[in-house]
Amino acid sequence: MSACCGPSREAAAPPRETVATAVRRQVPRGMVRIPGGTFLMGGDDPDGRPEDGEGPVREVRLDPFMIDPACVTNAQFATFVKETGYVTEAERIGWSFVFARFATGGVMDAGVPGAPWWAGVEGAAWRTPEGPGSSIGDRQNHPVVHVSWHDASAYAAWAGKRLPTEAEWEMAARGGLSRMRYPWGDELAPKGRQRCNIWQGRFPTAPSRGTMPVKSFQPNGYGLYNVSGNVWEWTTDWWGTSWEPSADNPTGPAEGTAKVIRGGSYLCHDSYCNRYRVAARTSNTPDSSTGHTGFRCAALI
């Protein structure tokens, strides 16, 4: 993953522990039905990033599916942990990446090249998102963060669901609109009204509020909240399998080493990372966790 969007762990994580859980066989109510069919995936925005494989725009057909209207919250993840005893990768490894200005302590010596606003913080995990002494006490309805792809997949299986494919995520995020930059249209702030949680002011020095509740702002046409900004969202797809390499993108993560993430986060800013557009995409390794990455679940009908 690009360091401007979020760093990856350099070393391989310790082997994952297998947690035996009883999978719920019935998909809970409250999911949104996406009708399926054909849509135009990808983008050719003039300020897009060809090196990310946003294009070409192509026609994709999907079967109907279900998807959560919002990201999994701290409260929901806490229920999963209580019932299963699951321990996240950040907890087992002992640290995670935090926006440096938010860190409450435990900052490690090693920085992130090209992105000094990130810090590895000992003790940072989903319960302590800024490090030692921090908590989620007043953020029960905020998206859970510091969850790796493995952690998100474990939750989804326990809930009788799965993570969405990249194509499912984009179809749902578009909300029925075609070829628009954002889930609500082409204008970032129609009539001057903010529609998503992205960085406000000069980055990285302006104040930031971090995550917001998962149902902040108006939902899109399908009833999905915060598919632009707030937190990045894991998908099932491996980076490199959804598009063809080109002269614009001869490098990047090797195929099969990173998972696609979508949606942007509260740290995205037009001056360096406008990946809160619907077509935008990037990736991170499955064992990585940060203070601005979460997930929502999907399921077949």
Contact 70, 296 (CB under 8 A): yes
pLDDT of res. 185: 96
Q: In this structure, which amino acid lies at residue 30?
A: G
pLDDT of res. 4: 58
Three-state DSSP at 221 gives coil
Contacts of 164 by beta carbon, 8 Å cutoff, 6+ apart:
65, 67, 172, 235, 236, 296, 297, 298
pLDDT of res. 202: 74
| Percent of the chain's residues with pLDDT above 70 | 86
* Each residue's pLDDT tens digit, 130-184: 999 999 999 999 999 999 999 999 999 999 999 999 999 999 999 999 999 999 9
Which DSSP category does 89 fall into? H
pLDDT of res. 43: 94
Q: Which two tokens stand for residue 122?
A: 């000992």
Which DSSP category does 72 fall into? P
pTM: 0.89
Domains of the chain: 1-9+29-88+140-301 (3.90.1580.10)
Kindly report the length of the chain. Answer: 301
Q: What does the pLDDT average to over 252-281?
A: 85
